[in-house]
Structure 1
Amino acid sequence: MSDLLIIVPSRGRPGNIAALHDAWKAATAGAAALLVAADDDDPMLEEYRYVCRSRQIELTVGPRLRMCPTLSKIAVERAPHHFAVGFFGDDHRPRSHGWDRRYVDELHGLGTGIVYGDDLLQHDRLPTQVAMTSDIVQTLGWMAPPGLLHLWVDNVWKDLGQAIGRLRYLPDVVIEHMHYLNGKAAEDDRYREVNNSAAAEADRLVYAAWLEHDMPGNVAKLKALL
């Protein structure tokens, strides 16, 4: 069983999974396992099955919940079986060889905590990709606060890590974000669905409510682990 499980919710982009896996094979040192989560109503589900089967990637298929709820569901289910769990988008690409061993070593050093690398887009500002010790997920009962669909979850991870003094940014570990906003991908329906003012505002309001009402209790629970 790998120390670190990276969960990748994906929809409509089986080609991205193949490209991610190519980068994964070139850069991963054996400390992490990859799990792809696809929707059972995805028109490209058979392509996901083929890509994952041919490359021996673990695939889980379930009802469409959107990115954050899917991530939380799987993280809660799998956290007891791994020292740490993490998130990549299907448009992230690990570039630094041994990134996974570095993440695991840093997390072991923290005991309880959150780490992230340089995505070449947000840099230290936001952990658009992340790994955290499983005790965080098990204590909170989620990896993304209930109600969030896609955006602002990286703000939550940074807020929590800073609040408990266990956030580690690794500038020499590159997990490149191949996003259309930095010209590294074409805009598609998935990007349009979440990168619009209405979707962003809906998630921002959920984040603001979490920040005001739930974060203090969440932080208290995590501090009790330290």
Structure 2
Amino acid sequence: MSSISISLLLPTRGRPALVERLFNSISKTVSHFDNIEVILYADEDDTASHGLTSTDFSVTTIIGPAKSMGGYNSACLDKARGDIIILANDDMVVQTKGWDDKIARFDAASEDKIYLAYGNDLLKKKGLCTFPILSRRTCELLVEPYPIAYGGAFIDVHLFDIFKRLQYAGFDRIRYMEDLIFEHLHYRVGKADCDDTYTRRGRFADDSTFVAMAGQRRRAAARLLSALQGEPMPSFEPWKDDRDIPNGLSAAIGYFTQQFLLDKQLPLQWRAYLWYWFIGRYLAARGFFGLLMR
């Protein structure tokens, strides 16, 4: 029996039926109930979610004011007891039996516990760590693994970017587990209805935050690199909010070029992808063409 404790962080709002569906999928697939916990955050006014629990595994519910997505996840992390931390969504369903053993074996094989692992969400698949898995040590080294500045999106891309930097520096600590199915039942692919929780967030509201936090990701990667190389750790510097994308297409392209295309700590393919993607999102947000599918 595994001695590893796994914490799933689960912010939710207005979706008690989806949480119950997720809990049911966990109960059907987990190997060791005693080794997992869910830390659930529900808004004060979301009374339908306040009593969500499971008779099979530990559920800790935090009831508090509405926060950013980064704030929700950070609050859940503060209460988590596990050595392995998974960001979960209420529109997720676990499909793989023994998923906890699979993750625990991977963690046990990691000597320094610095990694970003993720399963197959059947949507983005290998392309993005939709439900990122981090060790507690990685979270501690990053200090703020789930930045509170992110209102509702990009935490997965933020972490992916940090570990792309490690990869480019010669430390490939990204692990995609294709046979670990955490299915993302998202409305954009017809697997769910488009409800208020989806629509209350601005489609492009976090774009400027992600772009502006490029320097923060460089510093986060530097901390992980120092730990891997046994060198003195750079101090953590809280992010100074400066997230205004310049007005005008040419100015915006210049900004994206500086933030992405000229960032030599990233592999060229990833730099080019971010540059192209954010130019497209900039245009879509201003009505030049239909909304891009993320």
TM-score, normalisation: structure 1:
0.88
* Partners of 1:146 and 1:36 in 2: CA distance: 17
**Within 5 A, what are the aligned runs for 1:97-176?**
97-110=97-110, 111-164=113-166, 165-176=172-183
Q: State how far apart, in whole Å, the 2-side matches of 1:41 and 1:216 are.
A: 38
Contact 2:10–2:76 (Cα < 8 Å) also in 1: no
Determine if the alignment matches structure 1 residue 87 to structure 2 residue 87: yes
Look up the equivalent residue of 2:44 and give its one-letter code.
D
**2:39 and 2:79 in contact (8 A); partners too:** no
Show the counterpart of 2:231. none
Change (3 A) 1:88 1:78: same
Q: Offset of 1:13 from its aligned partner?
A: 0.6
| Per-residue Cα deviation, 1:132-174 (whole angstroms, up to 9, x for no partner) | 0111222222232231111111111211223222110001111
Contact conserved, 2:68 with 2:148, CA < 8 A, in 1? no
Helix, strand or coil at the partner of 1:70:
helix
Report the equivalent of 1:210.
213
The Cα shift of 1:32 comes to 2.5
Instruction: Tell me whether 1:49 sits opposite 2:56 in the alignment.
Output: no
Shift of 1:221: 0.8
Unaligned runs of 5+ in 1: none
Q: Which has the larger radius of gyration?
A: 2
User: Going by fraction, where is helix more abundant, 1 or 2?
Assistant: 1
1:7 counterpart letter in structure 2: L
Question: Residue type of the partner of 1:202?
Answer: A
Amino acid at match of 1:98: G
Q: How many aligned residue pairs are there?
A: 216
TM-score normalised over the length of structure 2 = 0.69
| Separation in 2, partners of 1:53, 1:115 | 26
Looking at structure 1, the residues matched to 198 and 192 of structure 2 have their Cα atoms a distance apart, in angstroms, of 10
Q: SS at 2:200's partner residue? A: helix
96-105 or 179-188, larger mean C-alpha shift? 96-105
Report which structure shows greater RCO (CA 8 Å, sep ≥6): 1
Which stretch has the larger CA shift, 63-72 or 15-24? 63-72
Note the residue ranges of structure 2 that are not aligned, 5 or more in a row. Answer: 167-171, 229-294
Identify if the C-alpha distance between structure 1 residues 201 and 59 changes in structure 2 by more than 3 Å, giving closer, same or farther: same
**What does residue 193 of structure 2 align with?**
186
Q: Match of 1:48, as an amino acid?
A: S
1:53 Cα shift?
Answer: 6.4
Alpha-carbon distance between aligned partners in 1 of 2:73 and 2:97, rounded to the nearest angstrom: 25
Higher strand share: 1
Shift in Å, 1:10:
0.1
Residue 204 of structure 2 aligns to a residue whose secondary structure is: helix
Does the Cα contact within 8 Å between 1:71 and 1:144 map onto a contact in 2? yes
Secondary structure of the structure 1 residue equivalent to 2:114: coil
d(CA) in 2 for partners of 1:172, 1:54: 27
Give distance in 2, aligned partners of 1:82 and 1:142: 17
**Aligned CA-pair RMSD:** 1.9
Aligned partners of 1:29 and 1:175: how far apart in 2?
15
Q: Tell me if the contact between 1:71 and 1:143 (Cα under 8 Å) persists in the aligned partners.
A: no
